[in-house]
Structure formats: structure tokens, C-alpha cells
Amino acid sequence: MTISPELISKVVRETVQEVVARQASGLTAQGGAAAPSATGDGIFTDMNDAVEAADKAWRQYLDCSMRDRKCYIQTIRNVCSDDEALTYMAEAAVEETGMGNAHDKYLKNRYAALETPGVEDIITEAWSGDDGLTTIEFSPFGVIGAITPTTNPSETIINNSIGMLAAGNAVVFSPHPRATRLTHWLIRRINKALGEVGAPANLITTVEKPSIDNTNAMMAHPKVRMLVATGGPGIVKSVLSSGKKAIGAGAGNPPAVVDATADIPQAAKDIVDGASFDNNLPCTAEKEVIAVDSITDLLKFEMLKHGAVEIKDPAVIARLASFVAKDGHAVAKWVGKPACVLAAEAGLEVPESTRLLIAEVPFEHTFVQTELMMPILGIVRVKNVDEAIDKAVEAEHGNRHTAIMHSLDVKALTKMGKKIQTTIYVKNGPSYNGIGIGGEGYPTFTIAGPTGEGLTSARNFARRRRCVLKGSLSVR
């Protein structure tokens, strides 16, 4: 049997790519450190240079095969999912942003690295028949400008990088200034690994000093063809006003409704697990509970078994409310802080192990109405499930983001789903089941409610292009 030169070169190429991809994860066959990359690290002083470099990278990327693309995606997964990297990212995020807890950040980064859909997400559609063959293929936009939040700094970069590169794009990141160090570390790490497997240099770029001016320069740059904003209402409005194709993944205020038919011990555990996850930072985390009167006492009692502490003293509730929010917005200094730190500031001593502070409050209270992103959960007692659903819809403020309901009544579950119209609706589980952590479905850290893409993945970062061949290639 003769082996063709093409096959030999294919096998050699794939073997080299595999070996280098393993090295990129920080390990060589001998267990030593990988060699440094000969390519740039993707970090530029000037935003225009960051965009130009990404544009050049994208044009080179067009010449890479789908096999190359898969290799690059695997390389990103490898360098972002080893234990050392995950531990570093989790701890560095808490240290630099002052938000969240390392244990849960480790998990979020791991899901982002390993489970974010890759090239398999961009499926070709085809029609074939007497008139020939027509395909719809997902093609890149080119350079995407991605704005990332403080609350999920590395998770969003990993998740966006995999999805955007899988769709054939290059990406310029505009991170929150309070997550600069971690962002630089991660972008350097990914670029170095990509360089080592032969990817074009600067497929992922950013600037030395992230700032609003730099973000604006990125948004205005003609070579940035698509904008993806993950953050609060201000930045979502900015990208939607840019005149460019934009995906807006904005704020939420997820309510959790509990009715009388629910498995209350399970609901209590799920709510504490979800609302305390990463100190309540995720935009998807339970931010308030609307419970029917007949089960509210039992629900609170069960929540205490899972690390919640109930604040009953109206003076302590008032003190806590006085510093965590101002003018209807969370005060950044307290966002993502541990429950015991928040309690101490309000003059209440609670065990360090406290996962969540709960307080029964009126519906109008800031613990219900404000997206606090802190382990503080307002609980509102209502007469019946219909009132609970109406109040949940109101508390969600039309964000169409996330809602949770605990009930065994399918009619009530259906009514809630129809009325609340959220992008994510979790039934009988903790909120993080909705982003693929412990629930079916893939994870994402860019949930586009305002612009309707939902849980974004590679196909949302691509253009649908039709290719028509007249008269032939249908073999049916």
C-alpha cells in the first residue's frame, strides 16, 4: 500500500498541533514549562492599534482551515481549564475586583472553558433540488468589540473568546478598568498558547489602560464590525446607539416565586444555593423572593438550615439598606461582598460561614427593587400564587432577563412563564441551572435579553450567508 504525501503531511500536521496544544496547557511531554511564544501578546497602548492588529489577525484567520479553528478553540480550553489557571483566575478576580468568592469563580471559569460551544455550534443549512444546491453558512463579522463586566471578568473573556473565534472572528476586548490585571494575564496566556499552535497573532487584543474613552474609541472604529456588551444598562444603551450590529446583554433583577405546592425544603436549599453563588454576583442569581403566605414561615425556617441568617430587627434592616444602595443603584463598594461583611457594617455579628442574609420586607423595599448583586435577599409575603406572579413580573422591571419559580402546579408554572417573558426561566432549581451549571444546556456569560439572542454562542457572533450553485450538485 502506498501512502500519499498529502496523508503524511496531514498526519504530521495534526500530530504537531496536538503536541503543541498540550504544551499550551502549560505542560510538555516531559512535564516542563512550555516555550514562550514568538508572537505578540495582544495588549496595545493605543486602541486603534489594538483594532488594526485584530483586523490583520482576522484576515489571516480567514485562510485557516476549520480543523485549525478547532485546534485553536481546544487550545483556549486547555490553557483556561487547568487547575493552576483556574485557581489563579478565581483568586485574582476576588483580589482585584473585591467581589465574589473564589470557590464559585473557579467553577464558573471551568464551565466557561470546557462547556462553551465551539465550532460545532455553527451548522450549515442546505437546500438541494432541481435548481441546484444552496447553502447557508455562518460566516464571521470580522473584528468584534466585546465589552466585559467586573462581575464575571475572566469567565466572560473565556466564553466570548471561544464563541467569537469559533465563528471565525477576531476580538478586541474592552474590560472594566477594575479587572485590568486579570484581563491582561488571561489575554496574554491565550495569545501565547495560540501562537504556539500556529494561530495568527493578535486574534484577541485589548489595551493597556481600559477606560471609557478607549471603549468609545473601540466602538467608533470603522474596522469593528460588531459590538457585544455584557454589563449594565449604560453600556448596553451605548452599543445599541452605535449604528453597528450590536448584542446587548444587560441587567436583571431575577425574582424567585414560591407557591404552596412547592417542595419547600428543596426550594429553600435551591434559593440559598442560587442567591449565594459567587456572593450573588451573577446577573441570573435570585435577587428577591415572592412567597405565598401559607408557606413563607416554613420556607424561611428551611433556608436557615442552609446557611441563611434572617434579619428581623427593623433598625438593622434600615441600616443595611442605607448603605448598600443609592438612588436605586447598588453601591459598587459593597457589590459581591460576603454576607458577614455586609452584616458587620450594619452592626450585626453573624458567623463567617453565613452564606446569605434574608429579610422579610415590603414589596417596595430596596432589597426587592434594586439589583444589589450582594448576598442579601428580600422576601415578600403575598396572598396567593396569582399575586406572587404579578409581583414577580413587576420586580423584574421588564428586563426580560431571568426568573425562577418553585411549584408543582403546571398551570401556575405556565402562567408565570407567559407573563414574565424572561430569557431564562428556571423551574424547581437554583438560578445557575439556567446557565448550564447543573442544568441541561450549554453555559454562557453573555445573556442577551434586550436584543433577543438569548444565551449567546458562536452562531450569534456570525452572519448568515447564502451560497447558490445553479443546476448541479444535487445528487438525490
Q: Using CB under 6 A as the criterion, which residues of the chain lie in contact with ligand NAD when the complex forms? A: 147-152, 174-177, 212, 215, 230-232, 234-235, 238, 249-252, 283, 371, 445-447
Nearer to ligand NAD, 74 or 183 (CB): 183
Q: What is the spatial distance between Cα 247 and Cα 462, in angstroms, rounded to a whole number?
A: 12
The nearer residue to ligand NAD, 117 or 252, going by C-beta atoms, is 252
Taking the complex as a whole, how short is the minimal distance between the CB of residue 437 and ligand NAD, in angstroms? 14
The rounded distance, in Å, linking the Cα atoms of 55 and 395 is 43
Distance of CA 387 to the CA centre of its chain: 32
Going by C-alpha positions, the residue among 365, 153, 406, 439 that lies closest to residue 272 is 406
- CA distances (Å), origin 437, targets 14, 251, 282: 32, 20, 12
Q: Tell the smallest beta-carbon distance from residue 461 to ligand NAD (Å).
A: 14
Distance CA 37, CA 21 (A): 13
> What is the three-class DSSP state of 98?
coil
Q: Where do runs of H (alpha helix) occur along 25-101?
A: 47-61, 66-81, 83-97
Task: Please say which residue, 148 or 202, places its beta carbon nearer to ligand NAD.
Answer: 148
CB of 436 to ligand NAD, least distance (A): 13
Q: Which CB sits closer to ligand NAD, 296 or 456?
A: 456
Distance between CA atoms of 72 and 162, rounded to whole angstroms? 9
- Do 64 and 201 meet the contact criterion of CB atoms below 8 Å apart? no
- CA nearest neighbour of 14 among 52, 63, 62, 70: 70
Q: Which residue has the closest beta carbon to ligand NAD?
A: 231
Q: Give CA separation, 44 vs 40, 72, 172, 208, 456, in Å.
A: 10, 22, 10, 6, 27
Task: In angstroms, give the least distance from the CB of 164 to ligand NAD.
Answer: 15
Measured from the CB atom, the residue of 121 and 371 that comes closer to ligand NAD is 371
Please report how close the Cβ of residue 117 comes to ligand NAD at its closest, in angstroms: 16
Smallest gap from residue 264 Cβ to ligand NAD (A):
28
Catalytic residue among 71, 80, 283, 340: 283
Q: Is 193 or 283 the residue whose CB approaches ligand NAD more closely? A: 283
Count Cβ atoms below 10 Å from residue 476 Cβ, excluding itself: 5
Q: How many CA atoms lie within 13 A of 128 on its CB side?
A: 8
Give 212 or 467: the residue with its C-beta nearer to ligand NAD.
212
DSSP code of 62?
Answer: T
Q: What is the dihedral of CA 94, 98, 101, 105, to 10 degrees?
A: -50
Q: Which grid cell sits at 168? A: 471565525
Q: Give the residues across from 227 on adjacent strands.
A: 145, 246
List all residues 6 or more positions away from 276 whose beta carbon is below 8 Å from its beta carbon: 307, 308, 339, 355, 356, 375
Min dist CB 327 to ligand NAD, Å, is: 15
Q: Is 283 a catalytic residue?
A: yes
Residues with catalytic roles? 283
